[in-house]
Structure 1
Amino acid sequence: MEESTPKYQTFVVNSAKYKTLYTKKFEMRTKWERPDMNEIRSYIPGTVLKLMVKTGQKVKEGECLLILEAMKMENKIEMPFDGKIKEIHVEEGVRIPKDVIMITIE
């Protein structure tokens, strides 16, 4: 078996330099992406009980967009800011996993 050369990366914190070993797990990790504020995503898996909005509807901050049932609790998903519903990606009665785009806002 061929032995691979370890990879090291230098980084600076408050003017102090550190050298760290890159692991295979670190190299294969999912890269972090800045969340899109115009996407309402499911934060837990659950079932969409009721949609309260329609495509093209103008919605004010704090209004209920939909009700998501998870772990025998009904969670109200509210509008984070004033906007207009661009697209609805889910349907009532459908079970969805975590981190699925449910609604897109303009």
Structure 2
Amino acid sequence: MAHNLDPQQLSDEPCCESKVERKSHHSEEVKKNLVTRLNRVEGQIRGIKRLIENDTYCDDVITQISATQAALNSVAKILLEGHMKNCVVERIQEGDTEVLDEFLITIQKLMKK
């Protein structure tokens, strides 16, 4: 039975979680790739902070922010692909079509950025 979900209802729920706790199904290789990318983003954020502390020219800071956003988008794309191929497919196979509403809301959240 599908329900129309309000984006507010899902805003605090982690990936693949609904009434029953769900977990992602990422391989160790994918997890390592994601962690490596996030470590790089973390370093970029620290670098942006230093640029601001050192009164770096605004355009240079904005360029670094843009690069960091692109890196985060890359992580999101990898997660989205895995979510679609694993979590969403699995839940549909279980007869849970509510996951489609969740997925559409997730896409809407990503497209706002």
TM-score, with structure 1 as normaliser: 0.21
Which of structures 1 and 2 has the bigger CA Rg?
1
More helix by share: 2
More strand by share: 1
TM-score, with structure 2 as normaliser: 0.20
Q: Which has the higher contact order (CA 8 A, sep 6+)?
A: 2
